[in-house]
Amino acid sequence: MFKHILIATDGSPASEHAAQLAVNLARIHGAKLLAVYVIDPYPFLAIGESNPLGFETYMSAAQAHAAQAHAKVAQLCSQGASLVSMQARMVENVAAASGIVQTAKDEGVDLIVVGSHGRSGIARLMLGSVASKVVAESPLPVLVAR
């Protein structure tokens, strides 16, 4: 049923759980997996313009974190009886939900898998939810793993 699955990863325990589900689905359906890590826009634009080292440090740390998150997904893909084909992608300078949805459209995926921290009430209102934004923006099926 699914031939190309996108897993949104940020290295958190919630996204690791979602990655395990995505890898299992890919294994069952013989699908390929696209692991996407979105690097948010640099939050201190004025500081970055006067101090380019701040921007470089931010990007370097974000890229290292993305590599760690992708490595965790790759490890899951290599475990088990059958290997899962995985491609890693970093998306930069865009809000997480928009980057995930746009990459899914561009790559022609069949399913987006995202993790959710399961926040509710005031915490969800204050912090927002990338998962709920992906569900709202995506024309594709989205599996939210709690």
Listed in sequence order, the DSSP H helices in the chain are: 13-29, 45-50, 52-78, 96-107, 121-127, 130-137
Beta-carbon contacts of 18 under 8 Å, excluding residues fewer than 6 positions away, are 7, 8, 9, 113, 114, 115, 143, 145
Q: Using DSSP bridges, classify how beta strands 111-115 and 86-92 pair: parallel, antiparallel or unpaired.
A: unpaired
What is the structure's pLDDT at 54?
Answer: 81
Mean pLDDT, consecutive 10-residue segments, the chain of 146 residues?
A: 96 94 96 96 66 82 96 94 94 95 98 83 58 94 93
> Tokens 């395990």 identify what position?
20
CB distance 70 to 16 below 8 Å: no
Q: What is the pLDDT of residue 143?
A: 96
Domain 4-145 falls in which CATH fold? Rossmann fold (3.40.50)
- Please give the Cα distance from 45 to 24 (Å, whole number): 40
What does the block give as tokens for 95? 């809000």
pLDDT at 43: 77
Ordered by start, the domain boundaries in the chain are 4-145
- Strand order of the β-sheet with 111-115 is 86-92, 32-39, 4-8, 111-115, 142-145
